[in-house]
Structure 1
Amino acid sequence: MAAGTGERRERKPPAASGVHLAAGAAVPSATAATQDGPEHTTRPMDYDAILLSGFGGPEGQDDVLPFLRNVTRGRGIPDERLEEVAHHYRHFGGISPINEQNRRLQAALQDALGRAGLDLPVYWGNRNWAPYLDDALAQAAEDGVRTMIAIPTSAYSSYSSCRQYREDWADALEATGLGATLQIDKVRQFFSHPGFIQPFIDGVREGVAAAIRDGHDASNIEVLFSTHSIPSDDAARSGAGLFTEVDGGGYAAQHLAVAEHVIAEAAPGTSWQLVYQSRSGPPIQPWLEPDINDAIGALDLGTAVLIVPVGFVSDHMEVMWDLDVEARETAERRGLWVARTPTPGTHPDFVQALVDLVQERIFARPTSRRSNTTTIGPWFDVCRPGCCENPRLGFKPAIAGLQP
């Protein structure tokens, strides 16, 4: 295995001021297969390595505030307000599980690549905490890597779940001075891949069966598919403008497509809804609703509540606190049966899906032969112009997509 290491520090790389553009290229710092910006690549590609990109998380009490400063950089949020969120981490000893989960995912992915006959080292770098992305890229370059395909640990289209990763790759390339020599492509958003969806199907089947074993009738079970809420304006700009008729844009449309497929496979006829969690913006700013706690509060007494964290790859803090603590408490206060299904984590089907996403780019697999199980997809290899941009933060350089 390979990973970005380097000296531990408390601050992520500064924002990029510009992005290298190869002569005549539309896509910054991309390989020859994607420089002209097709929605789906049609040329086989030899990559030197994989860049597993995580959100990052603190691994001790002293890390919590510096980590949150990184997450909120540029927003001018004072430490006293950050402490309102910090207590979620402090409740668990200041340790987010996300780094350890990504270590396990890195190892599982490396093993799966070997079994598939792909000799590609997996470098791991985080957006907001060590090991940082720039450390991972610097190590990769020192090892002789010149072309990478990046896998963000997020499945859907939105500013925070796609474009912000692309911006942070741009930051890391500028910080390391590697923008002209290290090329990075990214796998498509993988919400529609059957390997990502299968763990949720398994979880819903098992959760519904558990509720029935505990004496609940199938007609009284409510499945709540939960994902991170985002500002309504950001949601409207997600999905390359293809879902303007959907409340919540491409972000909501993609989640709804996954939820519909999961229910159809795991529990046909079971009542369900898409709900949101973890909103953090000012009260005057509209965010996607309903909040999961409000949805639980509106359910009939006697309902069995099955929470499915469909928006998340692993059990990071917002799953552990917002679902396992707050949402569970809301249900239990009302006397409702409640359970939560697992996230994909290192489920073998999910790990194999990541290998498949890399293979479809190496072999330039046509879209008709790509794994896809929802009514939407397969998604783009190269992000469309302006997709998921956040105008509130101003234009920021981003790679692996068409300008801006």
Structure 2
Amino acid sequence: MGSTNGYDALLVVSFGGPEGPEDVMPFLENVVRGRGVPRERLLEVEAHYQRFGGVSPINRQCRDLIAALDVGLPVYWGNRNWHPFLEDTVRRMTEDGVRKAAALVTAAYSSYSSCRQYLDDIARARAAVPGAPEIVKLRHYFDHPGFVTAMADHTRAALARLPEGERDTARLVFTAHSIPLSMARTAGPAGGAYEAQLRETAALVTERVDPERAFDLVWQSRSGPPQVPWLEPDVCDHLEALHADGVRAAVLVPIGFVSDHMEVVYDLDVEAAATADKLGMALSRAATAGTHPAFVSMVGELLAEPEPAGCAATCCPAPVRPASSRPSVPAPGGDR
């Protein structure tokens, strides 16, 4: 491969997820620590995980991605909320003599949760480890041809799984994790970038699949109190609206996620699938980028790009949380 800008390691940074029934509640408590989330809300989300044996797909998919990478550098892996924790990984990197690492975050877009919060995580981990290496976060890759190609191929495969008579008129429905409007439309350098980047990715994927086909961008997995506005429409509500307009088939394309998370396997494969079944609508769900060869190759290409400039301190600020609003569980199984 080409130049790696003086990096001597690659660090994959992800959200983390439980890997057994006994992990679920401690994991969720890590996710919401300091937010005062009611216990009943945690128990509600815990039930989603226990439906799948207490295992989120995200850690397995991180391992699969790391195994597929061939970037000519040692690859490390650290999570925000579950083992292997980021601080422990940075300590191991320091002990191994790593001096400068590139960080690939498993979130492709700009927002507080998918960008700034990871920068803060990395800064805290480095501060906790004397002599920690320099860590450079690689750029957002929502528009990288490797990501777009992977999602286009998976979308074509999902279309092919529909009944033959429904494929030509099926609606493409791109989904991403909803976030509060206060986070999505902040002022500053990244204000509104999350939604705009997702729309660009949806358009790029559709152009590859079928430029004449209609598509929508909708949202999933909101977890906040009803009085706090989040990005809409919800995917299940949108399926209802499509059905009312006479649409008989749809493909859900989870472009907001680079690997399967609990939000994908529960909110789409369970809840959205149940909505479509109730409506009598044919539904197919595209795979996430995962270990598609183009996505795997993308990582090496990002390493060879000129080192990205650091984000401004005002980029992707935390959302303003009204004092009267009940805290929510943010993305309990994945990134956005």
Q: Same fold (TM over 0.5)?
A: yes
Q: Tell me what 1:16 maps to.
A: none
1:252 aligns with 2:252: no
**Alignment equivalent of 2:219, drawn from 260, 266, 276:** 276
Q: 1:192 aligns with which of 138, 143, 155?
A: 143
Stretch of structure 1 that moved more, 74-83 or 46-55: 74-83
What pairs up with 1:8-157 in 2 under 5 angstroms? Answer: 45-109=5-69, 112-113=70-71, 118=72, 120-157=73-110
Residue 97 (structure 1) shift: 1.2
Contact 2:112/2:319, CA 8 A, preserved across alignment: no
Identify the residue that residue 25 of structure 1 maps to in structure 2.
none
Q: Is the 8 A contact 2:103 2:135 kept in 1?
A: yes
Which one is further off, 86-95 or 100-109? Answer: 100-109
1:204 aligned residue (155, 170, 175) = 155
Query: What corresponds to 1:338 in structure 2?
Result: 283
* Structure 2 equivalent of residue 388 of structure 1: 316
CA distances 1:87-117 after superposition (whole Å, capped 9, x unpaired): 11000010111111111111111xx21xxxx
User: How far, CA to CA, are the matches of 2:140 and 2:293 in structure 1?
Assistant: 19
Q: What residue identity is the alignment partner of 1:337?
A: A
Residue from 285, 301, 306 that aligns with 2:228: 285
Offset at residue 58 of structure 1 (A): 0.4
Paired with 1:291 and 1:270, the residues of 2 have a C-alpha distance of: 21
| AA at the equivalent of 1:328 | A
The code of the aligned residue for 1:387 comes to C
How far is the alpha carbon of 1:239 from its aligned partner? 7.7
**TM-score if structure 1 supplies the norm length?**
0.75
Alignment partner, residue 172 of structure 2: 223
Query: Take 1:126 and 1:44, find their aligned partners in 2: how far apart are those partners?
Result: 23
Q: Specify whether residues 196 and 216 from structure 1 end up closer, same or farther in structure 2 by C-alpha distance, changes over 3 A only.
A: same
RMSD of equivalent CA atoms: 1.9
Q: Is 1:317 matched up with 2:262?
A: yes
User: Counterpart of 2:231 in structure 1: which amino acid?
Assistant: L
Match of 2:298 in 1: 353
Cα distance, 1:302 vs structure 2: 5.0
- CA–CA distance in 2 between the matches of 1:238 and 1:189? 19
Higher-Rg member (1/2): 1
Alignment of 1:264 with 2:203, yes or no, is no
Distance in structure 2 (CA, Å) of the matches to 1:227 and 1:381 = 26
Deviation at 1:74, TM superposition (A): 1.6
Structure 1: 5+ residue stretches without partners: 1-42, 365-379, 394-404
Q: Is the Cα contact below 8 Å between 2:150 and 2:295 reproduced in 1?
A: yes
SS at match of 1:312: coil
- Offset of residue 55 of structure 1: 0.5
Note if contact 2:177-2:219 (Cα within 8 Å) is conserved in structure 1.
Answer: yes
How far does residue 44 in structure 1 lie from its aligned partner after superposition?
A: 7.9
Among candidates 129, 132, 148, match of residue 176 of structure 1: 129
Gap runs ≥5 in structure 2? 322-336
**1:303 Cα offset (Å):** 1.4
Deviation at 1:391, TM superposition (A): 4.8
8 Å Cα contact 1:238/1:251 also seen in 2: no
Q: How many residue pairs get matched? A: 318
* In structure 2, distance between residues paired with 1:201 and 1:271: 15
1:373 counterpart residue number:
none
Shift of 1:385: 3.4
User: Percent same amino acid at aligned positions?
Assistant: 49
